[in-house]
Amino acid sequence: MKYRKVNKLFPPIHGIRNQNIFESDSGLGIIFTEDDTPKWGWLKHLSISHQTRYPTWEEILEIKERILGDIDCMMVMPKKEDYINAHGNCFHVWQCPEDWGIQ
C-alpha cells in the first residue's frame, strides 16, 4: 500500500503534538498524533478510517507497523457515554503505557 502525507494540519490543540495526516492509494485516511493523557503521559495515537467501509485488520496492522513500529498497542472500546468519533468508519490504535509492563 502506498501512502502520501497531506499538508493540512488541524489547529494546534493543547495536549497534542506531532500531528501528521496521510492518505493511502486505497482510500484510507490516517492521522498520527502524540497525545498527553492525564494519567499516562504522552502516548502515540493512530486514527485509521475509510470513506465507505471499515479498515481491514490487515490494513490496521500494516499502518501500525509502518508508523508506530514494533511497540505494544491497543484498540479501545469505551463506554457509550465516553465514545467520541468524528468518522463512522474509524478505528483508534493507542500505544500501551509502558507502566503496564505488557511484554
pTM greater than 0.85: no
pLDDT (0 to 100) of residue 59? 95
pLDDT of 48 > 90? The answer is: yes
Q: Which residue has the higher pLDDT, 84 or 93?
A: 93
CATH number for the domain spanning 32: value is 3.40.1720
Per-residue pLDDT band at 13 (split at 50, 70, 90):
low
Its domain, for residue 43, covers 3-100
Domain tally, the chain: 1
Q: What is the mean pLDDT of the chain?
A: 84
d(CA 88, CA 76): 15
Q: Are strands 73-75 and 28-37 parallel, antiparallel or unpaired?
A: unpaired
Q: Say if CB 8 and CB 31 are below 8 A apart.
A: no
d(CA 47, CA 73): 13
Q: Say if CB 23 and CB 6 are below 8 A apart.
A: yes
pLDDT of 10 > 70? The answer is: no
